[in-house]
Structure 1
Amino acid sequence: MQSTNIKTSEQRRHDAMALLARQSGAAKPAGSKAIQRPPFKLEFDIRDFSTYPEIRAFDQHKSIIERAGVENPYFRSNEGTTGRHTRINGKELISFSGYNYLGFSGHPHVNEQAKTAIDQYGTSPSASRLVTGEKPVHRELEAALAGFLGTESALVFPSGHATNVTVIGHFFNSEDLILYDELSHNSLVEGCLLSGARRIAFKHNNVEHCERLIAENLHKYQKILVAVEGAYSMDGDLAPLRDFVRLRQQYPVLLFVDEAHSLGTVGSTGRGISEYAGVSPNDVDFWMGTLSKALASNGGYIAGKKALIDYLKYTTPGFVYSAGITPANAAAALASLELLVQSNQPVLRLQNNADYFRQLALDRKLNIGPSLDTPIVPIILGDSEKTIRVADQLFRAGINVHPMFYPSVPQGEARLRFFISSEHRKEDMVYTLDTLASAL
């Protein structure tokens, strides 16, 4: 008769753990006594999140709003389309806190195309595009983007922030070096961290500093990437792209340009900083941009050589393992791009409005920093509490603009950040800056 003394898998696991415990002097197997932590002094209670150092630091930064004695200006609910005006708590305000640069969000053509896409494809792609999530409107949008930008191909991602994180994090590795402008967006820095590459920030818009770093490290790394932004979202200035292209031509490096705020706003037809600087699109390896600003949608894209885009399409984790952009968002971006191709008048209105706002601010002796030729105009006040209180005064006067303070900007450089749109009127801007000057 066959023996029945056969141990179960659970018994075998228990015996193995007991053997390891005897050999190493470790604690007894699970089930006999709780596992002991190694000696380590915790400065916080692991289950009480309010004791965590990073959360305590955050609460300290946030408390500046309470010290200013005003209502929290963040996460206010906008009760309609955010354009020239917005509605908050039933009150209509002039809005300078939205990215609807060209007024395409809420445009009848854009709304109609988004609704049509829902009727045809539903509200979700229902899968990663690699499998069954691909819709015709996705390919139409990518072809239109590549055509508009003058590149061979383009790939759309479901999030602008995630585009930088996943593409940089995936394409570069520990054998590479990433040189990035010190004022680069968080998404770019997060991508650098994910990649494991060595990262060095160069002084803002300082091409000479960047070149020195390239020369010092040229033979130490497999790939070197130089990353800049077309328009910087805190200061409203532009990258000196021609100079960075010169570096790319002189040294074997790759060039990455983030056009989140320059697509549709810079250049005579809104084609961004390549048009503004007179640079061929082929002189940049990675053109990154977002769909959530001038193109009145949501998501991001990378445009460039076909070989690069094909590789990213099949291998980038943030694309392969994520559902695609919704059909409605794809259709809205495509419709906005159609409007942009049809006429550059919204672009010219936007640029004229931004220049007018800058001049009004300078006339009133307000500090606009280096803002130039972009729709982003900071009014730098310096003191954080003062900036928060002034933003509250403007809000009560019917003007919605947000305060930016440390750690979003350096200590002592707190500011009100104004996003100008093509739909703002001169009376909006005069009233706003007169009210601001009075508040100060």
Structure 2
Amino acid sequence: MSIVQTFKRYFKVEQDNPPKFQQYSTFAIFGFMIICQYIKNFLYTLVPRKFFFLKIANNLEINSLTILREHPIEDDLPPLPFKRTSTEGQLAGFKHEVHSKWAPTLNSFSSLYNVGAYSRAKTCFHREIASCPTDVVKVRTQDGSLDTVINICSYNYLGFAATDFATEKLMACAKTYGIGSYINRSAKDMQIFQDLETKMKNFMQVEDCIVHTMGYDTNAMSIPCIATPKSLIISDQFNHNSIVKGCQYSGAKTARFKHSDLSTLEKVLSQDLKKYDRVIVICEGLYSMEGSFVDLPAVVKLREKYGFLLFVDEAHSVGALGQHGQGVRDYFELPIDCVDFYMGTFTKSFASTGGYVAGKKYLIDEIRNKSHYFNQAMGMSPVFAQQIIQALDFMEHDQGKKVNKLKANSIRMRSGLKKLGFTVYGNDDSPVIPLLFYNPTKMNYLSDELLRRKIAAVVVAFPAVPIVSARIRFCMSASHTDEEIDYILKHMDQIGDFLSIKFEPVQK
């Protein structure tokens, strides 16, 4: 890959242009990091390999000891301690290089980035939680103690992760069916899985539904069942990796259109499509890194015009959007048959695991008959299926109260951040709220400072997002209280001023 291609691939920016200073400073920092790593790689050829990599590992340990500045804050918060940004265990991937029996790994851009940047940011991730992730969660600190913090990072949109949610029924299910499924569904099915598929079919108001063990594999293994090498798949550029893999596994020709830019989608559709046996457009209902909805009414109009099959990934929108919690189609109040494949997962709104594809029976039968994953892999745990069934039962009698509470919490949080002057992506009703701070060098401090203030949030940077698009991703839940949201807003106001990450006019 040439330098120009690398730049275009890794250093693109998103729909909103970040401040010029943030662009230039971020590019300069990462450019300096890459140059330093390339120099180290060159030195590797001049000195014994063992000596060189041992020096890298030792330097990482020394440079990982950082002091984060103290400054005046409210509420008598404890000072930030001396802190390793890379612990001993996390350096193992670099220290193994001193052993000659393993091949060297520092031979690509990804490896250079991993050593130069990611190794110093690892403590923003992999934090141990030691309780049920509801509106609050217990987090293991560096000294081994547990700290109870506000949980604004878990996918628990409707609050069903609470341990007091119909626990007795889960225990009864475990006694009846056991914990595991023990056999694949094509050999012998369980009644509870059939009940779940019927329940989900009725909830989505479609003809049929198929349930898979994993949400990721629902996309990756179902898309090859509905597309062939003679098909054309047109996919949004920000679609989840599971969709990307599914398109690759299918062997179909794949075209991408610019995120939320339907003119680029129509440009592909306006070409000669008669040579393809099937044209499938794939998009997500709610994009988890952007917090934005697909413009489904506009996509449906294109579907009526060009006659393609529409596959919508509702992993983050089912349960969380719409008057009945049926997802983005329900949110826009469109007819049920405007989408051919409704895909979703049970990990976000239903506090379980697995995924599903719902739609017309003849289309779902294609997946059921062709899917090696469905027919040969083990089914999900019956307890997980029971959790989903009782969540659907609750939603049926809840009359949209949890969905409305989630919507109110999302609007309160998003509007509060905007009033403070933060750059926030996404739709107003979206439970995913990305707050942009652009420069990833602020990520470590921001994550640690939030945790010190009893707030657990996810920070995201390259390569998960373009390089000048580092962000905090707040995930709202119906279980959050107004007091918890106001507490977060108060502390974000202080942090935003100190780190200079307010890029919009303050709203009064």
Q: TM over 0.5: same fold?
A: yes
What SS does structure 2 have at the residue aligned with 1:88? Answer: strand
**Shift of residue 435, structure 1, vs aligned partner:** 1.4
**Shift of residue 252, structure 1, vs aligned partner:** 2.4
* Match for residue 135 of structure 2 among 84, 104, 107: 84
Compared with structure 1, are the counterparts of its residues 326 and 429 closer, same or farther at alpha carbon in structure 2 (3 Å cutoff)? same
Q: Equivalent residue for 2:207? A: 152
Asked if the contact 2:293/2:426 (under 8 Å) is kept, the reply is: no
* Match for residue 364 of structure 2 among 309, 316, 320: 309
* Bigger mean CA offset, 308-317 vs 401-410: 308-317
- Give the share of equivalent positions with the same residue, in percent: 30
* Match for residue 407 of structure 1 among 455, 463, 469: 463
Q: C-alpha distance in 2, partners of 1:126/1:154?
A: 22
Asked if the contact 1:371/1:378 (under 8 Å) is kept, the reply is: no
Compared with structure 1, are the counterparts of its residues 240 and 105 closer, same or farther at alpha carbon in structure 2 (3 Å cutoff)? same
Compared with structure 1, are the counterparts of its residues 66 and 310 closer, same or farther at alpha carbon in structure 2 (3 Å cutoff)? closer
Q: Equivalent residue for 1:212? A: 267
Tell me if 1:241 matches 2:296: yes
**Shift of residue 274, structure 1, vs aligned partner:** 1.1
1:28-427 correspondence to structure 2 within 5 Å: 48-51=102-105, 53=107, 57-58=110-111, 60-61=113-114, 63-67=116-120, 72-89=123-140, 90-132=146-188, 134-343=189-398, 344-427=400-483
Asked if the contact 1:100/1:293 (under 8 Å) is kept, the reply is: yes
Compared with structure 1, are the counterparts of its residues 52 and 322 closer, same or farther at alpha carbon in structure 2 (3 Å cutoff)? farther
Asked if the contact 1:230/1:257 (under 8 Å) is kept, the reply is: yes
Q: C-alpha distance in 1, partners of 2:106/2:225?
A: 31
**Shift of residue 300, structure 1, vs aligned partner:** 0.3
Q: C-alpha distance in 1, partners of 2:408/2:271?
A: 43
> For residue 263 of structure 1, what is the amino acid of its counterpart?
V
Q: C-alpha distance in 2, partners of 1:58/1:388?
A: 20
**Shift of residue 153, structure 1, vs aligned partner:** 0.8
Q: Can you give the 5+ residue segments of structure 2 that lack an aligned partner in the other structure?
A: 1-96, 141-145, 500-508
**Shift of residue 295, structure 1, vs aligned partner:** 0.8
Asked if the contact 2:181/2:382 (under 8 Å) is kept, the reply is: yes
Q: C-alpha distance in 2, partners of 1:398/1:387?
A: 17
Q: Equivalent residue for 1:31? A: none
Compared with structure 1, are the counterparts of its residues 121 and 153 closer, same or farther at alpha carbon in structure 2 (3 Å cutoff)? same
**Shift of residue 98, structure 1, vs aligned partner:** 0.5
Q: Equivalent residue for 1:431? A: 487
Asked if the contact 1:110/1:336 (under 8 Å) is kept, the reply is: no
Asked if the contact 2:345/2:354 (under 8 Å) is kept, the reply is: yes
Deviations 1:98-134 (A, max 9, x none): 01111111253442222221110001111111112x1
> For residue 278 of structure 1, what is the amino acid of its counterpart?
E
What SS does structure 2 have at the residue aligned with 1:51? Answer: coil
TM-score (norm 1): 0.86
What SS does structure 2 have at the residue aligned with 1:76? Answer: coil
TM-score (norm 2): 0.74
**Shift of residue 428, structure 1, vs aligned partner:** 1.3
* Bigger mean CA offset, 292-301 vs 305-314: 305-314
**Shift of residue 283, structure 1, vs aligned partner:** 1.5
Q: C-alpha distance in 1, partners of 2:293/2:124?
A: 28
Compared with structure 1, are the counterparts of its residues 87 and 217 closer, same or farther at alpha carbon in structure 2 (3 Å cutoff)? farther
**Shift of residue 207, structure 1, vs aligned partner:** 1.7
**Shift of residue 196, structure 1, vs aligned partner:** 1.1
Compared with structure 1, are the counterparts of its residues 365 and 171 closer, same or farther at alpha carbon in structure 2 (3 Å cutoff)? same
> For residue 73 of structure 1, what is the amino acid of its counterpart?
C
Aligned residues between the structures: 393
Query: Over the residues paired in the alignment, what is the CA RMSD in angstroms?
Result: 1.9
**Shift of residue 170, structure 1, vs aligned partner:** 2.9
Q: C-alpha distance in 2, partners of 1:225/1:311?
A: 15
Asked if the contact 1:262/1:273 (under 8 Å) is kept, the reply is: yes
Q: C-alpha distance in 1, partners of 2:169/2:433?
A: 32
Compared with structure 1, are the counterparts of its residues 53 and 136 closer, same or farther at alpha carbon in structure 2 (3 Å cutoff)? farther
Asked if the contact 1:67/1:385 (under 8 Å) is kept, the reply is: no
What SS does structure 1 have at the residue aligned with 2:287? Answer: coil
Q: C-alpha distance in 2, partners of 1:268/1:378?
A: 24
